[in-house]
Structure 1
Amino acid sequence: MAKKSGFRTLVLLLFSLSIVYVNCALPPRTFDVRMYGAVADGKTDNTKAFLRTWEDACEYGGRSRFWIPRGTFLLGSISFEGSCKGSMAFLIKGTLKATTDPQQFFTDTWIGFRYLDKLTVKGGGYLDGQGAAAWPYNDCSRNSNCRTLPTTLRFDFVTNSAVNNIKSVNSKNSHINIFACHNMNISNIRLTAPANSPNTDGIHIGTSNKMKISRAVIGTGDDCIAMVSGSRDIDIDNVACGPGHGISIGSLGRSHASEFVSGISVTNSIFIGSDNGVRIKTMAPSLHSKASGLTFQNLFMRNVSNPIVIDQQYCPYQGCRIQSSSAVQIQDVTFRNIMGISRTQIAVNLQCSGALPCKNVKLINIDLGYHGRGGKAKSLCSNVIGYSYGKQIPGGCI
């Protein structure tokens, strides 16, 4: 009887070990784009080779490493899609260079990632959008139906992922666009384009939640970071912004009436020579919407034209109805520990909606100087309900 019991124990042990062996994680595997025909000469179109690499990497059940070695790889518009069988590390050591062929300009994406979970994009390499060849085709400042130019990096429906140690230069449109994503960490990045380059937002976020952006240097021709409808729980920390249009919420109110903005925090950041510092902007007239739970604190402004702005009469196009009111409710907004030098005399400018005044706006320890003609810095407020605490330079706004 004892022998039979021992035999059963041995069988069960071997069966258990076989289950552990079958279910153990596969080892990481590297997929080198050169093994799929990619050529690092800066001239050969490597789009097909990159897609072939992705297909194999996405099918692998373990941790895949999509490897782009040192060198310059020309790459056309491309979309990397899931879902993949395992997690993916997209490792850029070299330089990816976009096309300068005008026939390939009018698309919304240069490099896109869609329907992916546990994606990491990193490596220390460069993304060169070669935007100077495309910027003359951008007529959006005078044409509301302008044709789209490609965003350098686009993330759609991506979850639990990270982007770090990446440099993007001269994007044709936005450097990074994030849509319908959840739980992403973006850190240690540098995004640059000339101050006069059109619509080259650093990071553009919409319909996404639980985002963290930190240790970023962003200098562009548009917003350093823009958060539009549906942006929730966004934590921005340790960002250097300038040149550019500052860190903005909005514009809001053109669409997505039910996609509110909430839980935005911008802290420990510096703005150098930017057109704006921190800004909330809504269209007028607009659909009904709401922006709440917004905190801007521990910020330094160096030669910034408009350090603190709420603009509920924002109109980037011609033909706006100046007498119309915004239907976007702005409430629970805190500006705390903001100091530095304003390039214009109006350092604090809060222009809220006559139909829906801003509610519970707090100005705490504001110290913004002005050294130009006309005297000291001033504040200008309209339709604002709120409070002021601590030092107030300029004073007399709320």
Structure 2
Amino acid sequence: MTAILKVFILHLFIMLQTVGAYAKGKGSPGVYDVTEYGAEPSNDDNKDAFMAAWHAACGATAGNATLLIPDGTFTVSTTEFSGPCKNSRSPLVVVVNGILHPCANSDRHRHPGDDDVWITFSGVSNLLITGTGTLDGRGSNQISNAKSKTTTTLELDGVANATVRGLTFLNSRGFHLNIHRSSHVAAEGLHIGAPAASRNTDGVHVGLSSHVTVADSTIGTGDDCVSIGPGCSGVVVSGVVCGPGHGISVGSLGREEGEDDVRGLVVRNCTVMGTTNGLRIKTWPGSPPSRAFNITFRDIVMDNVSNPIIIDQHYCPHSHCSHIAKVVLGVRFDRVNLSCGKEQCDTKFSNVEGKPTVVAEEEASPGAVVSPERARH
């Protein structure tokens, strides 16, 4: 209860700070406007100006700092906003009201063979990223090229107590938002869109993170709307409208040696429409020991979904895989409504068997994670 109250107070404080940031004008104390550091709405790279404004905001010792990207269309190359910041006890607010584009020659920033990230926030605590702006990855021209390298639009790496709120993400060349090695993060009120034919364009991906909430967002891409990777616990997906895309997915899990378990996942009050898959758990066969357990899908509406529910313990995109299945325990589907759109439903269930466990009595949550050993009894 103390932890929940602490997070609530932090979010309330951040919300009040956001209102103050919007009210403050150019030149106001505590507001670091990128245009005052040389940024201009143009096709020229504004990275240096963005970084100068960030260093000033992150290095501020008094009061609460706000980094402001005002109205206008700004071009910026691969940029990492890194911490820790000097006044980490007070929220640092990043307000994005403009439209951001990557540089046309952004591929020159890559290391051979590596995936890339366009904008990264790393090692920062007490962070709010908000505004009415748009991050447009300009990836729509790559939808037909299966060999195109992926570029994540926005990544939170090693971040704690953070919120991403209200932004629009378009046409990423990879994940739109990647939450990685982070804790106590909320992504809410987001609008995420990419062509249905675009590859590897997950809306929100969560990996190696705990206590993450994805809420009240509209997501339609060419891949998973929300994907949960290895090493995640206490993740809640709520109020998401998903489609087009591949639905809401756990995995793939077990591809690499030493992966951590996935546990305590709740997906609730979501609508999945016009997608290839609805709710999916996918694990690689014959992979090193790790488990997915204490997972709840509740109050889900699916409309015109080709494969509503999939638990695939032999996920193998190529032909050379073992036949040993991954351990998946304590998965609960509660009040799932399937609709077939304008066509008559011909979905059938046969040879379906379920055995009750302790997990059926407890909703998956950070405070009610049931161990695999207990779930077997």
TM superposition score normalised by structure 2: 0.81
Structure holding more strand per residue: 1
The question of whether the paired residues in 2 share the 8 Å contact of 1:341 and 1:370 is answered with no
Partner SS, residue 283 of structure 2 = strand
Deviates further, 197-206 or 253-262: 253-262
Alignment of 1:18-37 (within 5 A): 29-37=30-38
Partner SS, residue 104 of structure 1 = helix
Change in 2 beyond 3 A, CA 1:119/1:138: farther
Aligned to 2:93: 89
**2:344 counterpart (371, 384, 388):** 371
Aligned to 1:126: 134
Aligned to 1:46: 46
| RMSD (Å) for aligned C-alpha atoms | 2.2
Matches of 1:258 and 1:243 in 2, distance apart? 30
Aligned to 1:230: 231
Partner SS, residue 56 of structure 2 = helix
Alignment of 1:207-246 (within 5 A): 207-246=208-247
Residue by residue over 1:30-77, the C-alpha shift from the partner in whole angstroms, topping out at 9 and shown as x without a partner, is: 000001100012x11101110111111111013110000000000111
Matches of 1:302 and 1:121 in 2, distance apart? 32
Residue by residue over 1:143-185, the C-alpha shift from the partner in whole angstroms, topping out at 9 and shown as x without a partner, is: xxxx742100001000011000000000010000111100011
The question of whether the paired residues in 1 share the 8 Å contact of 2:122 and 2:157 is answered with yes
Matches of 1:288 and 1:57 in 2, distance apart? 44
Q: How many residues are aligned here?
A: 323
Residue by residue over 1:308-334, the C-alpha shift from the partner in whole angstroms, topping out at 9 and shown as x without a partner, is: 110111122x2333x6122x2111111
Matches of 2:351 and 2:221 in 1, distance apart? 29
Matched, 1:101 2:101: no
Partner SS, residue 118 of structure 1 = strand
The question of whether the paired residues in 1 share the 8 Å contact of 2:144 and 2:198 is answered with no
Alignment of 1:54-203 (within 5 A): 54-61=54-61, 62-86=63-87, 87-101=91-105, 103-104=107-108, 106=110, 107-139=115-147, 148-203=149-204
Change in 2 beyond 3 A, CA 1:99/1:138: farther
**2:327 counterpart (325, 329, 332):** 329
Write out the 4+ residue segments of structure 1 that deviate beyond 6 Å after TM superposition. Answer: none
Residue by residue over 1:225-252, the C-alpha shift from the partner in whole angstroms, topping out at 9 and shown as x without a partner, is: 1101101000111000000111010001
Aligned to 1:142: none
Report the alpha carbon displacement of residue 284 of structure 1 after superposing the two structures with TM. Answer: 1.6
Matches of 1:179 and 1:259 in 2, distance apart? 14
The question of whether the paired residues in 2 share the 8 Å contact of 1:303 and 1:342 is answered with yes
Alignment of 1:206-285 (within 5 A): 206-285=207-286
The question of whether the paired residues in 2 share the 8 Å contact of 1:307 and 1:342 is answered with no
Report the alpha carbon displacement of residue 208 of structure 1 after superposing the two structures with TM. Answer: 0.2
Pick the structure with greater CA Rg.
Answer: 1
Letter paired with 2:344: H
Partner SS, residue 304 of structure 1 = coil
Gaps of 5+ in 1: 1-26, 140-146, 344-368, 390-398
Change in 2 beyond 3 A, CA 1:28/1:270: farther
Letter paired with 1:257: G
Percent identical residues:
35
Report the alpha carbon displacement of residue 213 of structure 1 after superposing the two structures with TM. Answer: 1.1
TM superposition score normalised by structure 1: 0.77
Change in 2 beyond 3 A, CA 1:385/1:289: farther
